[in-house]
Amino acid sequence: MNREARVRKTKASAGRKARKELYVLRLYVAGLTTRSRTAISNITSICEEHLQGRYDLEVIDVFQRPILAREEQIIATPTLVKKLPAPLRRLIGDLSERQKVLIGLDLRRLG
Amino acid sequence: MAKAPKPRRIQTLSKAPTGIAGLDAVTQGGLPRGRPTLVSGRAGCGKTVLGLEFVVRGAVEFEEPGLIVSFEESAEELTANVRSLGFDLDDLCARKKLAVEFVSVERHEIEETGDYNLDGLFVRLGHAIDSLGAKRMLLDTIEALFAGLTNLGILRAELRRLFRWLKSKGVTVVLTGEQGEGAFTRQGLEEYVSDCVISLDVKLAHHVATRTLRVVKYRGSSHSPDEYPFLITDRGVTVMPITSLGLAHEASSERISSGSAAVDELLGGKGFFRGSTVLVSGAAGTGKTSAAAYLANSACKRGEKCMYFAFEESPQQLIRNMRSIGIDLAPFVKKGLLRVEATRPSLFGLESHLAASLNAVNEFDPAVVIVDPITDFVSLGSTYEVRSMMTRLVDHLKSRGITALMTSLDSTNASKSEEEVGVSSLIDTWIVAELVEVAGERNRAISVLKSRGMPHSNQIREFLLGPRGLELVPVYRGPGGFLSGSARRAQQTADDATSSTGNGS
């Protein structure tokens, strides 16, 4: 079974909001556990609410991609890596503390 | 019919040899196989070096591939560190004998937003172990996780799970930990590792540092609980077991010349026993170093190797001075038969000296060892410490069948029986050189105080040190008693005169 889920939304309308940055997010999980599902649903909801049309979210299962876990220096799971915009941030945990996630993603002023 | 039950040998704890000189003796075979061992100590104690050497030697000497997990140093830094121990990490990694996993924990990048576990780390370690077939592992130091993650409840539970998991994988793990106040480690790592704990320390005495190692705990195995000095050299870690090798060494009845016909004459005409320990003691300027050079000279002439530990003279100075009594040691140095190790005694601590000396002896494998003089060690420690060190040195040399000559500087002529370093009982042959002060001159006199297992002269003999070497002067034993120097010559002239007068009458 392919545990890799991929949610990608890139909109043609991105040009209209050129001043808004594109968010590149990678969510590393360890298997499709309850905790993983919670994390996926939390980040999807935040993205849809705050970053509609300008985010690239990929969910990666470290069991499937151990080398990637090494390259990305993953220790805890789930870990959400904000690759862009800089600076790089790692949000670990199931992302259920919404305020902290917004702060970590620099989205609080928008919310 | 049921078979009679086979007598079963009791399974003793399986151990993974470290390959580190001395450590396997102290732990009686190595670290507990398939279990974690904690190495704790303050910063700069050598924890990482010890762990690295365990893993690297496992890969090189015991066909056990190893994984080095570093939380603090990148692969490049590690490679440099391992190279300083004499191993090529890149080559070992290329040959799939070693792998390095650098785990970076950057606190400033991390935000905790809910429940998590350390499966990411588990997956990485599991993948690295499986792809290498790793049997050994170094975790240096897992305490870094405490700096990066704040949820101690999750962290502690996950560490417990990590060590259970590593045990189930059968990996022999060394983990390092910074020593804490009143505990082995600041983060209480000993809580997770209950099998074996090794504590490292650096002690300062007389402004000289000595590294020490102690096996604090070793579940399921006997071990020496003593504290052992250890060294970190360019060939890795060397631990020095304090326990001497006992008195089981072979005793050779072969005699070797002392190099001086005069000294041989005092020893029944044959010289020292091979493998015996000789002490030459005396005041300043009595010819101790000359006696040492004689032995070195004769050993090298026989084609045997000689190691000369000089604590007062440089090799060049020694060679120049010995030319004045007709001994040229320079060709032997060139030929590689003679090695002069000249160091100031205050360069290292006592134990480091011992370790360095034994390392040098083991490597050079000489037939004769000279320590000139041992008295200089007294400044480095208490009489007990010096004695303990000398015992181990003598035992080690005897066990290898090495003939040893040590010189000892007596502060005054009178104190010949006062053992300056308390080593007389270790000595097989004790030669005393003295200055006899008679009629306004000092004359050199030599005698054998003791020599185990051989008849020896009981006379105090006058000797001369000159370009022809060490010469015994014929003894004057006349009505005037023991005489030396001008007094002897005057007495002889007087005696001759008397006898000629007698003849004439």
DSSP one-letter string for B450-495 = EETTS------EEEEEETTEEEEPPP-EETTEE--HHHHHHHHHHH
CATH number of the domain to which B231 belongs? 3.40.50.300
pLDDT at A28: 92
Q: What is the pLDDT of residues B432-446, one digit of tens each?
A: 888 877 767 777 888
Same domain, yes or no, for B154 and B262? no
Q: How far apart are CA B382 and CA B422, in angstroms?
A: 11
Same domain, yes or no, for B175 and B306? no
Token reading at A27:
């969510």
- The answer to the question of residue A39 being in a domain is yes
Chain A: closest CA distance from residue B128 (Å): 9
ipTM over 0.90: no
How many A×B Cβ pairs under 8 Å?
103
Q: In this structure, which amino acid lies at residue B334?
A: K
Please, what is the Cα angle at A79 between A76 and A85, to 5 degrees? 140
Same domain, yes or no, for B270 and B174? no
**List of residues 6+ apart from B54 with CB closer than 8 A:** B18, B19, B20, B31, B136, B138, B174
Same domain, yes or no, for B439 and B371? yes
- The answer to the question of residue B474 being in a domain is yes
- The answer to the question of residue B4 being in a domain is no
- The answer to the question of residue A16 being in a domain is no
Task: Select the residue from A25, A35, A64, A75 to test the B interface by mutation, using most B Cβ atoms within 10 A.
Answer: A75
Q: Name which of A67, A93, A101 is nearest B116 (Cβ-Cβ).
A: A93
Distance of CA B257 to the CA centre of its chain: 28
- Active-site residue numbers of B? 72, 312
Same domain, yes or no, for B48 and B170? yes
- Number of domains into which chain B is organized: 2
- Mean per-residue pLDDT pooled into runs of 10, chain A (111 residues): 45 44 89 89 88 87 89 89 87 87 76 43
- The answer to the question of residue B222 being in a domain is yes
- The answer to the question of residue A11 being in a domain is no
B104 in contact with chain A, both atoms CB, cutoff 8 A = yes
Task: Out of B212, B239, B266, pick the residue that ends a domain.
Answer: B239
Q: With contacts defined as CB-CB under 8 Å, which chain A residues touch B103?
A: 73, 75
- The answer to the question of residue B209 being in a domain is yes
- Give the torsion sign (CA, B69, B71, B75, B76): negative
Same domain, yes or no, for B232 and B259? no
Hey, are the CB atoms on B120 and A95 less than 8 Å from each other? no
What is chain B's Cα-based Rg?
31
Structural domain containing residue A97:
22-104
Beta-strand relationship, B66-70 and B98-102: parallel
Task: Out of B191, B208, B239, pick the residue that ends a domain.
Answer: B239
Same domain, yes or no, for B232 and B291? no
- Weakly modelled stretches of chain B, pLDDT under 50: 1-3, 244, 413-418, 504-505
Chain B: closest CA distance from residue A18 (Å): 27
Q: With contacts defined as CB-CB under 8 Å, which chain B residues touch A30?
A: 117, 119-120, 122-123
Counting every residue, how long is chain A?
111
- The answer to the question of residue B346 being in a domain is yes
- The answer to the question of residue A45 being in a domain is yes
Place of tokens 């993953």: A74
pLDDT at B505: 42
Structural domain containing residue B136:
15-239
- Give the torsion sign (CA, B41, B236, B311, B427): positive
Q: How far apart are CA B243 and CA B240, in angstroms?
A: 9
- Number of domains into which chain A is organized: 1
Same domain, yes or no, for B298 and B435? yes
Same domain, yes or no, for B229 and B271? no
Counting every residue, how long is chain B?
505
CATH number of the domain to which A89 belongs? 3.40.30.10
Token reading at B3:
């078979």
Same domain, yes or no, for B226 and B312? no
pLDDT at B369: 92
Q: A91 pairs with which residues across the strands?
A: A80, B111
Same domain, yes or no, for B260 and B231? no
pLDDT at B479: 57
Hey, are the CB atoms on A77 and B120 less than 8 Å from each other? yes
Task: Out of B176, B204, B239, pick the residue that ends a domain.
Answer: B239
Hey, are the CB atoms on B120 and A100 less than 8 Å from each other? no
Q: Between the CA atoms of B2, B6, B7 and B13, what dihedral angle is there, to the nearest 10 degrees?
A: -130
